[in-house]
Amino acid sequence: MNKLLYSSLVVLLFSAACVPAFAGNPDRQGEAGAYELLMAPYAKMAGLHSMNTSGVTGVEAMHLNVAGLGRINKTEVSLGHALYLQGTGININAFGLAQRVGKNGAFGISLMALDFGDIRVTTTSQPEGTGATFSPSFFNIGFSYAHVFENKVSVGVLVRGVSESTADISAFGFAIDAGVQYVTGPQDNFKFGISLRNIGSRMAFNGEGLSFQGPAVGSSPQYQLTFDQRTTGFELPSMLNIGLSYDFILGEKSRFTMLGNFTSNSFSQDQVGGGVEFSLNDMFMLRGGYRYEFGSDDVITRPIYTGLCAGATLQVPLSKEKRNTHFGVDYAYQQSRVWNGTHNITVRFNL
């Protein structure tokens, strides 16, 4: 009865949230900001183009479907690094910690930062550079909680703070993620998941960098005044993910998973895709997928990624007695139309 009541509440919550959040159309493409929230900082999710909404678990769930946070053994620690569109000089660094609390609950903390390297300062009079450099700071931190009901239904919520700044301007905002996963079947083969991401406040840049000095209009003699420029706020890139997957159990040591996912983006085209994952003895895994973006035939507006992705995992048990505690290394590659794709690597500890 409690599960039925909670499931009904979740459905109503998503229905109410989706009506205003996803009433947009592709004409709004490019009107949002903070697109780093859509980047995949960890390799397992990147190896499936962030389409494993139904089966993602642990730390990675905080960047896709927070409901999966609760499906951990006890403690999980992940360190992620990515060469974003290799050739641009942009790196992604991430840290996540998930901790089980009680029998069915779990708390998590997630940190993610972008490294742009040193960028030359240029002016209209010195377009080749002044000799100085600067580096923008893009950072976000999230706190989350997930709960599993009778090992079938899990729900989760996450609150994230988003910061973007340089030396003299900055913007800050809050975002909320919510998700639900449902598992059923004789061996928990069938999984279904829904996640609503990046619903939050508008962001706007402020700071001394928006001020400039100019002559006072109509004054004689002329003197200098300080003028403040006003900036237009921007929305966060909210999205809705709906995914499902099915595990084919091959004997006692192998598993083959097929998955599908649909993504509704508030400020860009919708996406649909699928992927597969093969696991051998829960120690070696191969995965890959393809994602298609509707209306992406236009040369100018089509996405940077071609849609192809692949990845692999190697993990070893930390104890002979406890096979569910292990150390793992994940790698993923996402092919792009320009530059040299995105490379992800993750180091995980499951205790």
**pLDDT average per 10 residues of sequence, the chain (351 residues):** 46 45 57 92 96 95 95 94 95 97 94 93 88 92 94 93 93 95 92 95 88 74 77 91 95 93 90 96 95 79 89 91 86 95 97 88
Residue 131 burial (CB count, 10 A): 8
Among the listed residues 242, 130, 233, 246, the one whose alpha carbon sits nearest the alpha carbon of residue 185: 246
Q: Which residues contact 58 (CB under 8 A, 6 or more apart)?
A: 68, 69, 71, 72, 76, 78, 96, 98, 348, 350
Q: For residue 221, tell me if it sits in a domain.
A: no
pLDDT at 27: 67
Q: What is the pLDDT of residue 201?
A: 85
Write b or e for each residue in 280-300: b if 16 or more Cβ atoms lie within 10 A of its Cβ, otherwise e: eebeebebbbebebeeeeeee
- Dihedral, CA atoms, 303, 57, 36, 175, nearest 10 degrees? 120
CA distance 263 to 315: 30
- SS3 assignment, position 87: coil
Element (H, E) at 296: none
**The CATH number of the domain where 125 resides is what?**
2.40.160.40
pLDDT of residue 218: 67
Position 177 scores a pLDDT of 96
Which H or E run contains 25?
A: none
CA 42 to chain centre: 9
> For the chain, what is the domain count?
1
Q: CB under 8 Å to 308, separation ≥6 — which residues?
A: 288, 289, 290, 334, 335
- What is the value of pTM for the model shown? 0.88
Is residue 226 situated within a structural domain? no
Distance CA 175, CA 196 (A): 11
Domain assignment of residue 50, given as a range: 2-207+237-350
Determine the distance from the C-alpha atom of residue 307 to the mean position of all C-alpha atoms in its chain, rounded to a whole number. 17
Beta strands 239-250 and 254-265 are: antiparallel
In a domain, 128, yes or no: yes
The answer to whether residue 64 is domain-embedded is yes
Got the DSSP string for 244-291?
EEEEEEETTTEEEEEEEEEEEESSS--EEEEEEEEEETTTEEEEEEEE
Give domain status of residue 218, yes or no. Answer: no
Residue 150 lies in a domain: yes
What's the CA gap between 274 and 289, in Å, rounded? 6
Which pair of tokens denotes residue 66? 């927070």
